[in-house]
Amino acid sequence: MPAIIFFLLIFLPATTASAGDLRMENDHFIIRYASGDERIASELSRESLGIRERIIADIGVDFSGKTEIRIAPTLEAFRAAQPGRTWVPLWAVGVAYPGENVIVLRSPRAVKGSRIDVIDVFAHEFSHIALGRA
């Protein structure tokens, strides 16, 4: 019994501090999110393809592979969702990792009194991905 408690104490925080176990996918993106962020994930799934098309047209260079979008429901999950546990400042609401083809976004519900426009933040972060992969 003590071994089970030890296991839960060690590994449970790691499993709850993720971007989420739910997944949505379209032709160019994999969206990972937690329960409560279904509306944001659906909106990103709908809007992301048009945003990608516009940014790729502006840059003039396309790239293969699906970009992973991680929507973090809490600050702790946002920090845990960074590839390699990269440190990010408290004020950050989105971070792009072109080398990994990953975007990490904070859910608006993760920011008290939030007026975050997730679609605008996504467009900004995707421009970093596209430029970095061009």
The CA distances from residue 102 to 11, 73, 84, in Å, are: 24, 17, 12
Residue 7 domain-assigned? no
Nearest to 69 by CA among 131, 122, 132: 122
CATH of the domain at 60: 3.40.30.160
- Position 2 scores a pLDDT of 52
Residues with pLDDT less than 70, the chain: 1-18
Q: What is the pLDDT of residue 95?
A: 98
In a domain, 12, yes or no: no
Residue 70 within any structural domain of the chain: yes
Q: How many structural domains comprise the chain?
A: 1
Domain that holds residue 78: 18-133
Q: What is the pLDDT of residue 65?
A: 96
Q: How far apart are CA 59 and CA 7, in angstroms?
A: 48
Supply the pTM of this predicted model.
0.85
What count of other Cβ atoms lies within 10 Å of the Cβ of residue 21? 10
Question: Domain for residue 43, yes or no?
Answer: yes
Evaluate whether residue 44 is within a structural domain.
yes
What confidence score (pLDDT) does residue 13 get?
A: 41
pLDDT tens-digit series, residues 14-44: 433 467 899 999 999 999 999 999 999 999 9
pLDDT for the residue 18: 62
